[in-house]
Structure 1
């Protein structure tokens, strides 16, 4: 019941954006009837896209944000070992001596709305290739009420024992939907579908294809710092707490430092890529099986004309 309450709370959208005030600085004497007509026809100029996220990634999920055209986003994502519990504590410097997963990836903007991503995870030795396309951009006047971005990922487990190459392959698709509820609070929901040719873990009775749903929230604290919550639930009859599985959940702080975006987080998920953490998260917060993680994003702009925001 707890996981459904979390998802329900993230799905609530309580109010719209405040409309921008109309510029009334022109006096009547300086405005002709022709000017008035042109002004009434140019209301679209007062609309602008809402930029709800500083980075393309949150803690577990990707955001609706994309990298702009001819920009390259270099990312390093890290998950340490258990902070507490029988495998954590001072003996492993509260998890900092251990490494559960490291992801190194590149995101490139083919256009402002279309990105190609490439990366590799330590967990499962997974190499991924993604396409990410922004379909809708939320506008400040709510004429477009949400942002919608589509994500498609293919993954290959490069090491390990498999009978054929196709057994190494996985696919993940997701629709990412976000809305800025107020100027400081944003919600995001992301329904998805995961398909693997070899189940992880490869045990009898586990599904190789299943739907999943992620929810995230961002609370802006200052212009350069926000608090994040990120949660995911696989709709799998096998991946339940009775069989030793737990839903991935993360809490974090996002800090923008000029050209970098830095996220410090705590999560029970060992893995970074959704193909891995949706399939096989067995760590439990109540047993101290949570870990410190971080994400560093650095944008390189090859346009030489404008700074990425």
Structure 2
């Protein structure tokens, strides 16, 4: 930030530092906030274009100072040479976390003057070592992914000593679902809960293809009209709008934009207080469990009674919804409501 503020924003100076921060921790809240400032994302894009040019010839300069790199688009984490050196103990095999080149090693064994039986034994040892190292490196990568790309109370919650996945669309807990490929175990290790056995996916199907297996398909929702094109292209279903029984009395206000989250949430609390004092029920929609709990804490500080409906409180859903329409009732909810 200091370099860019001083005008040193070219790809080899401030742009390099920005690119390095993005490659190292793209989900860091301070970085995300900084990238939302005018012109900063453009500077990152310019630096990215510079370092990705000529088959990423200059990319090693970016990764040189990092212990690992994150490819957020492909959900991948890779250890750098410096990272491997950091986690390799003193006096340990320097190639403890480096996969051998199987083809070259096998070729070297073939060139030796050993007997056929000895060559076979060495090849088996090599393949065994490769498999062990591959598992070891994969475990480290999954742990790094768990710590850098998955946030508690956003992608998952910890309930009753278990890590449970939260559906980002609905905000509900996906009971019985577990991340595959050792990622769920990495999250369990991160949260210091019991590590369960890993699961293996044998077959997958998209929801669209699953629904198309039914001979008859229909539904009703308050949000179908905006997706009418999608319903037709995927399911060949028309969307019909049913008019309201009485004229709509809802008033849609203009969007309010705030410079910081602090100002935004303070304005939300003030609006809740005004509506509650007027005796009106209030429903506050939030995008994650984390935000719903932050607003809950702010309301507690103000002494405003309220209910929270999120993935952690799903067992109380019926009771919370039943009370939501009462005069002066305040309900904070994630998408699940």
Structure number having the greater strand percentage: 1
TM-score scaled to structure 2, two decimals? 0.18
**Greater RCO between the two (CA within 8 Å, min separation 6)?**
1
Give the number of the structure whose residues are more often helix, by fraction. 2
